[in-house]
Structure 1
Amino acid sequence: MILVTGATGNLAAAAIDHLLTRVGPDRVVALARSEAKAAPLRARAVAVRLGDYGDPAALAHAMDGVRKVLLVSSNDHGNLLTHHQNVIRAAEKAGVEHVVYTGTAVRDSDASPMSPMLTALLRTEDHLRSSGLTHTVLRNTMYTDALPVFLGADVLERGIDLPAGDGRIPFALRREMGEAAANVLLQDGHEGKTYELTAPEAHTIEDVARVLSERSGKPVPYTSPEPQEFTDGLRAAGVPEPGAALLSAFVTDMREGRYDIVTRDLEDLLGRKPASLDASLREVYRL
């Protein structure tokens, strides 16, 4: 059986969707915090085990009879490393054969305003290596699906006002990263490997604006304001301080080129080229 943690989140859901095209639901176990959110999984005959990363007893129960685990990174940034260590220890005790872990593809993490979170992700990799568990690390680039969070719901009407400068990002669709993770779980030969899952080409936010303009038939101008002006605008719009700081940190990493990592790993794991920027933006924005 394959256990998928964080099963009601978007990346885990994408992985489960692909797993269910290849194996029966009796082979998939979902770890979820909420019975209500897990109901659609139960409706598909997927076994649901309730619990969270902070509950070692629940994690031990979730691992019962499991051979492989997809460890999707916790979204509790203040407790990332502890949460991941809890899952890894539970996997060790249960004799799990293979752990696949999803982290982040970013360079110069020490210089990032999100350094504490990124350090926790990298230390999770170290903990996996020292655990003795057979494992695979998947470092995911920024999701194309996340662009509406940064650009706003009305981007086609207002344009893009984001201090990303000419930073380049190899955006990729979350569903394709979930598919790649599922393939790693289902195939042999990935043990001990670290993959950086990115599109085969990096693009600027100006490129995003150009594609949105072409596909929508509306002019979508791109303006890169001063970073402080952007952060002040978030606060003025009522975005809570932690959210404003996090969005600003992500944009800083975009602007400073920390996501500018391009590999063929995603293409190789999918067995085809990932969706282009044009195709992925049409999917995300339904153009």
Structure 2
Amino acid sequence: MILVTGATGHYGAKAIEHLLHKGVEAPYLAALVRDAAKGQPLQDQGIELRIGDYTDFESLVRAFQGVEKLLLVSSNDRGAVANRTAHHATVVKAAQEAQVKHLVYTSFVTKQGAADSAIADFLASHAQTEQLIKDSGLPYTILQNGIYLEMIPIFAGEKVAETGVLLFPAQAGKASWVLRAELAEAAAHVLTTPGHENKSYVLANTAATSFEEIAQDLSATLGKAIRYQSPPVEEFQAILKQAGVPEVYIGLFVTWASAVAEGVLEVEDSTLESFLGRKLTTTAQFLAQVYN
């Protein structure tokens, strides 16, 4: 039995889809959900629903009974980063209690010098979770996923085609953007092939891309010149505030723009490409799909 947490989210749902495509039969799949109603489409495919919550240890122990392989999709709690670490610790303890045979965790890419970066707390939470898993004695695989390509349109804004300006304070920094569905496919590969126990993999693109290059790709896709502007952070914040963007999103944009500027997301690696057995989706290809 393979159980996928966060099964109604984008990543978890794609992981299940890829597991099915790889020949795992629905009766051998389980999906952890908080709300059975949201999991109905999965149940309709013959996948067993297990009800549980990252904050409820006993519910997780029940949900993990009979599970051989567990895909722990990292918590997306919007509160303090410490909440995520606590959620993960509860899952790991429950997996121990239920005697899960193999735990696969979706972590995040990191590189030397990132401890002082804009996303230091976010990275620390993942590092702490990785250590918890290693200390648990459970056979594990850690997937250090790159930043999603799907974040680019969010950062670029809804009006980039209209204004002709890509405004984002990432300076000349680059990131190894990768398609979420391809990361989920890699998880399915790890769950269905041998030899991954007690290993950590960096899953990022083989080439990193700057926002200057993204603007060039957008120009080619839209048939219209898109200029990249990287204003000082304070100016960027003021522009967004004047446009009525909520503070929580302004903070999110600034945090990730700073991380890109610092170069901590520029982690090129060929492991994901080797797992999939094909070339990865490039930034230019992704933008052509989204904006055409």
Q: TM-score normalized by structure 2? A: 0.94
In the alignment, is the contact (CA less than 8 A) between 1:3 and 1:69 conserved in 2?
yes
Counterpart CA distance in 2 for 1:229 and 1:32 is: 42
Q: Which residue of 1 aligns with 2:6?
A: 6
Counterpart CA distance in 1 for 2:114 and 2:39 is: 34
Equivalent of 1:155 in 151, 160, 163? 160
In the alignment, is the contact (CA less than 8 A) between 1:80 and 1:117 conserved in 2?
no
In the alignment, is the contact (CA less than 8 A) between 1:99 and 1:134 conserved in 2?
yes
Q: Which residue of 2 aligns with 1:273?
A: 279
Q: Which residue of 2 aligns with 1:122?
A: 127
TM superposition shift of 1:286: 4.6
TM superposition shift of 1:123: 0.6
In the alignment, is the contact (CA less than 8 A) between 1:104 and 1:141 conserved in 2?
yes
Q: Which residue of 2 aligns with 1:88?
A: 92
Q: 5+ unaligned residues in a row in structure 1: which ranges?
A: none
Counterpart CA distance in 2 for 1:36 and 1:204 is: 41
Matching residue's letter, 2:19: L
Q: Which residue of 2 aligns with 1:59?
A: 60
In the alignment, is the contact (CA less than 8 A) between 1:109 and 1:119 conserved in 2?
no
In the alignment, is the contact (CA less than 8 A) between 1:172 and 1:280 conserved in 2?
no
In the alignment, is the contact (CA less than 8 A) between 2:82 and 2:125 conserved in 1?
no
TM superposition shift of 1:106: 2.6
Q: 1:223 to 1:185 in 2, by over 3 A?
A: same
Aligned length: 286
Matching residue's letter, 2:188: A
Matching residue's letter, 2:129: T
Per-residue CA deviations over 1:56-76 (Å, capped at 9, x if unaligned) read: 111112101110011111011
Q: Which residue of 2 aligns with 1:50?
A: 51
Give identity over the alignment, percent.
Answer: 40
1:107-186 alignment, distance < 5 Å = 107=111, 108-158=113-163, 159-186=165-192
Matching residue's letter, 1:87: V
Counterpart CA distance in 1 for 2:275 and 2:74 is: 20
Q: 1:225 to 1:184 in 2, by over 3 A?
A: same
In the alignment, is the contact (CA less than 8 A) between 1:2 and 1:67 conserved in 2?
yes
Structure 1 outlier segments of 4+, above 4 Å: none
Q: Which residue of 2 aligns with 1:98?
A: 102
Deviates more, 1:34-43 or 1:147-156: 34-43
Q: 5+ unaligned residues in a row in structure 2: which ranges?
A: none
